[in-house]
Amino acid sequence: MPSFRKPTDVRVESVDVHYLPVQMRMPLKFGPESVTSVTCVRVAVTVVDADGKSATGWGETPLSVTWAWPSATMTYADRYDAMTQFCAEIASAWKSIPVAGHPMEIGHAFLDSSMHQMLDSFNANRGDQSMPHLAALITASAFDIATHDAYGQLHDVDIYDTYNSTYMSDDLATYLTPESGPTPESATGLSFEGQFPSDYLVADAPTSLPVWHLVGGLDPLEQSDLSGSEPDDGYPVTLRQWIAEDGLTCLKVKLRGNDAAWDFDRLVRVGEMSLELGIDALSADFNCTAQEAQYVNDILDQLKQQHPAISDLIIYVEQPFPYDLEKYQIDVHSVSQRKPLFLDESAHDWRFVALGKRLGWTGVALKTCKTQTGALLSLCWAKAHGMPLMVQDLTNPMLAQIPHVRLAAHAGTIMGVESNGMQFYPDASAPEAKVHPGIYRRRDGKLDLSTLSGPGFGYRLDEIERTLPPAE
């Protein structure tokens, strides 16, 4: 039995896992692959304190196979089956985590040791079909998020009010190591001693956030781009329609990363529409497919020379290069001298953020699908070292949307949050939208978080009328 250090400590008692399939209304392109459906894993975790009091919390994550596990040799089905198999192994392991404490302490104990051992064992005989670290994080994230929610439920407190010394036994120095300079004179002098996540979170989190729209590689921009196969379901189809309908002001442009002419033309087309319709900000997402810095530099330089007004709209560039940062240690200082350069897929945890900073990356795009615990630790390390933040979407529907937008509100991002579930499967979140309309529909270019309230993540789950499939 794990030992309890504080009266507020909990341990994991039980776990249930549900799988919710969701069909997309339009295909979404990830690098070389396109997807038309996704399955979300929804997890219930029950925790118990030293007195035997228990509570159940919930977490959910889309199993975004093509994003987390790109492959030219494995089928989608084989990768999906591997991820669900790993989910089952995590469910068993999560019930046996030998730690009692705050969810940050429980989650870190699993992520920093158990998961690495499990993944090594899982991949032992898989050869070139080994599951990547990022895919493993996605499968773990719903369990971690649910544990955070359960802790808030048990103590009847907003989970963001617990990331401090009142509830946590271990300070950030237990988890994080500051960057050290190559010489004693260049050392940062930073220390995480006596600090907690609350020291790096927005004290008065906003209830309204600017929202970013994803311009996918297959998305039609104008009526002239339509093929006739698009859905006729009452929702916008073209980018121009979306901008008008939702009052958008921020656009994230998906690029190919291996076709410079296409990428440049796409940025120009979206940029010209943005200038016409009053868009405030663009980001360029090369989707991990560029192989060298010069590819990105050439596009950015050409855009600045030929279309300076469009270039000025781009406020950051997202993850152009392969996400295995340890294997592909590309010096990216030349890119970040042109535009802020944000880690996304590569930012598995704070150690990868530290490596990225040394290579020239300047910012971090956080995602709850890499676990709430890991996202908060990366947030703290990045902020301590002067790296700006964004919170990026994984096309989160249903419950997955709520921890996602709450992280953005508390992180203090450079501009709001990306949210595109309403583009690709708006009806999937209909039960949740009845309770929280403002976070499942974008109005005047913003999301409204004001309906989120109560313990944990503020789901108000007892008001959401959703029937779950049987637990597996």
- Strands 10-30 and 314-318 come out as unpaired
472 within some domain: no
In this structure, are 212 and 335 located in the same domain?
Answer: yes
Same domain, 437 and 294: yes
- CB atoms near residue 443 (< 10 Å): 14
Same domain assignment for residues 44 and 86: yes
Reading the block at residue 217, the tokens are 């590689």
CATH at 380: 3.20.20.120
Is 76 among the domain residues? yes
- Specify the pTM: 0.96
- What angle separates helix 115-122 from helix 133-155, to the nearest 10 degrees? 140
Quote the pLDDT of residue 178: 93
As to burial, measured by CB atoms within 10 angstroms (0-12 exposed, 13-18 middle, 19+ buried), residue 298 is middle
Last residue of a domain, one of 120, 141, 170: 170
pLDDT tens per residue, range 401-420: 999 999 999 999 999 999 99
Last residue in a domain, options 147, 170, 193: 170
Greater confidence, 189 or 449?
449
User: Which pair of tokens denotes residue 78?
Assistant: 């084989």
Same domain membership, residue 307 and residue 438: yes
Task: Spell out a b/e string for 221-241, using b for 16 or more CB atoms within 10 Å of the CB, else e.
Answer: beeeeeeeeeeeeebebbbbe
CA 255/CA 288 separation, integer angstroms: 10
**Chain segment 136-193, per-residue pLDDT in tens:** 999 999 999 999 999 999 999 999 999 999 999 999 999 999 987 544 444 566 899 9
| CATH of residue 28 | 3.30.390.10
- Nearest-10 crossing angle of helices 133-155, 401-411: 80
Given 170, 185, 211, which residue is the final one in a domain?
170
Parallel/antiparallel/unpaired status of strands 33-49 and 363-366: unpaired
**Cα–Cα distance between 314 and 298 in angstroms, integer?**
15
**25 closest CA partner among 35, 38, 33, 36:** 36
**Do 206 and 288 fall into the same domain?**
yes
Is residue 414 domain-shared with residue 359, that is, in the same domain? Answer: yes
Position 438 in a domain: yes
Query: What pLDDT score does 410 carry?
Result: 98
Is 96 inside any structural domain? yes
Q: Is the pLDDT of residue 27 over 80?
A: yes
Q: How many domains in the chain?
A: 2
Contact 4, 49 (CB under 8 A): yes
3-state DSSP of the chain: CCCCCCCCCEEEEEEEEEEEEEEEEEEEEECCEEEEEEEEEEEEEEEEECCCCEEEEEEEEECCHHHHCCCCCCCHHHHHHHHHHHHHHHHHHHCCCCCCECHHHHHHHHHHHHHHHHHHHHCCCCHHHCCCHHHHHHHHHHHHHHHHHHHHHHHCCEHHHCCCCCCCCCCHHHCCCCCCCCCHHHCCCCCCCCCCHHHHCCCCCCCEEEEEEEECCCCCCCHHHCCCCCCCCCCCCCHHHHHHHHCCCEEEEECCCCCHHHHHHHHHHHHHHHHHHCCCEEEEECCCCCCCHHHHHHHHHHHHHHCHHHHHHEEEEECCCCCCCCCCCCCCHHHHCCCCEEECCCCCCHHHHHHHHHHCCCEEEECHHHCHHHHHHHHHHHHHCCCCEEECCCCCCHHHHHHHHHHHHHHCCCCCEECCHHHHCHHHHHHHHHHCHHHHCCECCEEECCCCCCCECCCCHHHCCCCCCCCC
pLDDT at 215 over 60: yes
What's the pLDDT score for residue 35? 87
- Candidates 368, 400, 372, 394; CA nearest to 20 is 400
Examine the pLDDT at 292 and tell me if it is beyond 50.
Answer: yes
Do residues 151 and 192 both lie within one domain? no
Same domain? 78 vs 211:
no
pLDDT of residue 183: 43
Query: What is the pLDDT at residue 163?
Result: 98
For residue 468, is it within any domain? no
Q: Same domain for 115 and 181?
A: no
- Tell me the average pLDDT across 379-402: 97
Expressed as residue numbers, the domain containing 257 is: 173-463
Q: What is the pLDDT of residue 33?
A: 83
Q: Is residue 138 located within the same domain as residue 270?
A: no
Same domain (yes/no): 364, 434: yes
What is the pLDDT of the chain when averaged over all its residues?
95
Q: For residue 469, is it within any domain? A: no
| Residue 4 in domain | no
pLDDT given at position 29: 78
- pLDDT of 306 > 60? The answer is yes
Q: Look at residue 95 and tell me if it is in a domain.
A: yes
Q: Is 232 found in the same domain as 122?
A: no
